[in-house]
Structure 1
Amino acid sequence: MSGERHLASTRRSPLFMPVIYVGGLIFGFGLAVSGMARPEVVLDFLQFEDFGLLFVMGGAAAVTGIAFTVATQYLDRAPLTAGRYVRRVKAFDRNVVAGGAIFGVGWGLSGVCPGAAYASVGIGNYPILWAVGGMFLGAYAHGYWRTHQSNLTEP
């Protein structure tokens, strides 16, 4: 019985993947329209010369905060996955601090975060592929390191 309940709770709607793709397209389009897919705009923000990114990020944070608050308060199941819809609190540890620092340095050096980098390729900024390659290399290195660390700690 509990196995059947688990299967039912992990079954996804057939609309799951199309909604994910449409959401990504809307996100990329928004980045392109707002200018956030252009590294020079992001670098101007990081140098306190243009605060447009602050309004873009602030607007996104406000919409997300409202959506999560309303959804977790009024919905008992996620609409597309039928899984429990609750907040997942993760531990704040040194991995979070180190990851945030590495992300910030990469963002400052390349001028874009990962989402904007992909959108930047979409508007024809092909040299940003070096930064995208660096992101993939960093993700691979992190996965390798975490796997190696977990193998060392297992008895």
Structure 2
Amino acid sequence: MRALITFITGLAFGLGLAVSEMTNPAVVLGFLDIFGDWNPSLIFVMGGAVLVGMVGYLIRSKREKPWLADKWYIPTRRDIDHNLVIGASLFGIGWGLSGYCPGPGLTALVNNPSEGAYFMAALVAGSALFHFQNHRKSN
């Protein structure tokens, strides 16, 4: 049952990305270009995401535990440290340069394989670098 719900949720997420044109880097870059040829259409995508998040928060506050898990996994840290700022900055720079974040980057492997392959290679390399750096710190 979990696998089926995970599949359906992923399918809905991918469909949402495609319908909202988040898989089109030109649209994303147009949204990020506020001083140029700005495309404000993704404000509705963000608004929809905020609404879904609010509904999720309300559901979480009313339920003892999730439907398909033993407990809620809620982050406990609330501090803003240099690792968070650097990581968020790198993510934003990568998104702004490429027009892809990880979800749409995966769809680019099908929609635009040459760009998608470069993006996914950079994503995997960055993830490996992060893992290597954190593993080295803990030893």
Query: What TM-score, normalized to structure 1?
Result: 0.80
2:24 to 20, 38, 43: 38
- Residues 65-123 of structure 1: per-residue CA shift (max 9 Å, x gap): 2221x22221001110122x36433232111101100100110111111111112334x
- Letter of the structure 2 residue corresponding to residue 126 of structure 1: P
Aligned to 1:64: 53
- Counterpart contact for 1:36–1:42, Cα < 8 Å: yes
Larger mean CA deviation between 140-149 and 112-121 belongs to 112-121
Looking at structure 2, the residues matched to 125 and 86 of structure 1 have their Cα atoms a distance apart, in angstroms, of 35
Do structure 1's residue 88 and structure 2's residue 49 form an aligned pair? no
Do structure 1's residue 126 and structure 2's residue 137 form an aligned pair? no
- Counterpart contact for 1:44–1:50, Cα < 8 Å: yes
Of structures 1 and 2, the larger Rg is shown by: 1
1:14-33 alignment runs, 5 A limit: 15-33=1-19
Q: How many residues align?
A: 134
Q: Which runs of 5+ in 1 are unaligned?
A: 1-14
Q: What RMSD in Å do the two structures reach over aligned CA positions? A: 1.5
- Counterpart contact for 1:41–1:50, Cα < 8 Å: yes
Looking at structure 2, the residues matched to 126 and 150 of structure 1 have their Cα atoms a distance apart, in angstroms, of 37
- Which is bigger in relative contact order (C-alpha 8 A, separation at least 6)? 1
Looking at structure 1, the residues matched to 135 and 21 of structure 2 have their Cα atoms a distance apart, in angstroms, of 38
Looking at structure 2, the residues matched to 45 and 54 of structure 1 have their Cα atoms a distance apart, in angstroms, of 8
Aligned to 1:12: none
